[in-house]
Amino acid sequence: MWGPRVKMRIYPFTYAVYEDVERVMTTLTSYDRDKWAAAWSSIAKPYEEKAAQAEKAGDAQNAKENYLRAYQYYRLARYPTINSDGKKQAYRKSQEMLFKASQFFDFPLERVEIPFTGKTGEGSKIVAYLRLPKKVSAPFPVLVSWGGIDGFKEEQLNDPALAHGLATCAIDGPGVGDSPLKGSEDAERLFGAVFDWIGTNETLDSHRIGVWGYSTGGYWAVKVAHIYKDKIACAVSQGGPVHYAFELDWIQKQDRGEYPFEFFETITYAFGLPGYKEWVEYAPKLSLLKQGILDKPSAPLLLINGIHDSVFPIKDYYLLLEHGSPKCARFYKAGHMGFTRDTFDTIMNWMYEKLG
């Protein structure tokens, strides 16, 4: 499965070199989590050293490229999620490499800590990456984005949005990366804290907030669009679950889908569950239909997916179209999240229009 993805630089191989990936994938003798992390980290280390040497020599381009490649392999070392000590260590190294690379970016990357008042046992801060545009004056409209259960905030940088005058605020969804709380029936509390913080930041326009959630993150985008409709200007849900995805007949199909090996390991970690059996029992509680969310009014909402999605069923989005406020939708003859040459531009042009 990895070969074509590496050659086309498709996630999670954005900055990877084919020979490096081949070396790891053909020599691994175990999928033990820490052995996996160690194998990829060993590939990352030489690039980290090359980057440091280039930076010391004042060679910004080589420093940037090698830091990004080191980031790539530490990111693969933590993939798909940080459910072991080795993967957690690799995740911290991936963050370190990204920030070292970012000093050479056109748009600087700022790490901010947003206050969060959670329940007992939850964290007290939301770590976000804030980037500001250059060509327009504050306050800036802001795009808040998050990934799914294996896509962390480090992948949500979105240079085109910055070039069009939007600030970007990348965060981790519930149960992912640095998130202060696990996924649950009310974990959308995370996003409310982010919107409140934006309202206190003079450089950001709290009246022009757009949100974009990918994959499992698309679930939270739908919920946010309904619960926080007065806080945001628009929302994009790309390839997310809504109702049918949480039922047993679909769950039983997922181990034959596009992400058969890591899905249940990753989703159960994000929701703080021991394993598959517990997920089957818990998942129906997440249905937005059963929670009574879908018939409520929502902020402008764009639904994007592939009609052949084997991770989450496309009929979840048809269900959304049958309830509540009218929505925009674009479905492609593609798989999970509807990736085509046009998908990104479709989303961003809609976002630009809604945010003015």
pLDDT for 22-68, tens place per residue?
A: 999 999 998 899 999 999 999 999 999 999 999 999 999 999 999 99
CATH of the domain at 128: 3.40.50.1820
Integer-rounded Cα Rg, in Å, for the chain is: 20
Which CATH number is 41's domain given? 1.20.1440
Q: How confident is the model at residue 135, as a pLDDT?
A: 77
**Does 275 share its domain with 290?**
yes
One domain for residues 235 and 301: yes
Specify whether 82 is located in the same domain as 97.
Answer: yes
Q: Would the CA dihedral through 137, 143, 144, 147 be positive or negative? A: negative
CB 147 within 8 A of CB 81: no
Domain span holding position 132 = 108-355
Query: What is the reported pLDDT for 258?
Result: 81
My answer on whether 14 and 130 are in the same domain is no
* Predicted local distance difference test score (pLDDT) of residue 136: 80
Query: With pLDDT > 70 as the criterion, what percentage of the chain qualifies?
Result: 100
Residue that finishes a domain, picked among 70, 101, 132: 101
Which residue bears the tokens 């939301």? 126
- Together in a domain, 69 and 210: no
CB atoms within 10 A of CB 110: 13
pLDDT score recorded for residue 260: 66
| Among the ranges given (115-124, 217-226, 259-268, 285-294), the one the predictor scored with the smallest mean pLDDT | 259-268
Domain match, 58 and 129 both: no
Residues 334 and 209 in one domain: yes
Query: Which range (108-117, 153-162, 175-184, 257-266) has the least confidence?
Result: 257-266
On average, the pLDDT of the chain sits at: 96
Q: In what order do the strands lie in the sheet with 167-170?
A: 110-115, 125-131, 167-170, 140-146, 204-214, 234-238, 301-306, 328-332
Q: Who wins on pLDDT, 137 or 317?
A: 317
| Position with higher pLDDT, 257 vs 204 | 204
- Our count of domains for the chain comes to 2
* Cβ proximity of 123 and 113 under 8 Å: no
Identify whether residues 231 and 191 lie together within a single domain. Answer: yes
Mean pLDDT, residues 70-76: 98
Which DSSP state fits 283?
A: G
| Residue that is last in its domain, among 72, 101, 130 | 101
E strand or H helix at 114: strand 110-115
CB neighbour burial string for 111-142, b if at least 16 within 10 angstroms, e if fewer: eeebebebeeeeeeebbbbbbbbeeeeebbbb
Last residue of a domain, one of 38, 72, 101: 101
Could you tell me if 147 and 97 lie in one domain? no
pLDDT score of 36: 96
pLDDT class of 101 with cuts at 50, 70, 90:
very high
Please tell me the pTM assigned to this model.
0.96
At residue 121, does pLDDT exceed 90?
Answer: yes
308 and 172 part of one domain: yes
Q: What is the pLDDT of residues 298-351, one digit of tens each?
A: 999 999 999 999 999 999 999 999 999 999 999 999 999 999 999 999 999 999
Per-residue pLDDT, averaged over 226-251, amounts to 98
Position 328 scores a pLDDT of 98
Same-domain status, 137 and 65: no
CB proximity list for 118: less than 8 A, separation 6 or greater: 124, 180, 181, 189
d(CA 226, CA 62): 46
What pLDDT, on the 0 to 100 scale, is given for residue 255?
79
Query: Exposure pattern of 284-302 as b/e (b: 16+ CB <10 Å)?
Result: eebbbbeeebbeeebbbbb
On whether both 178 and 311 belong to a single domain, the answer is yes
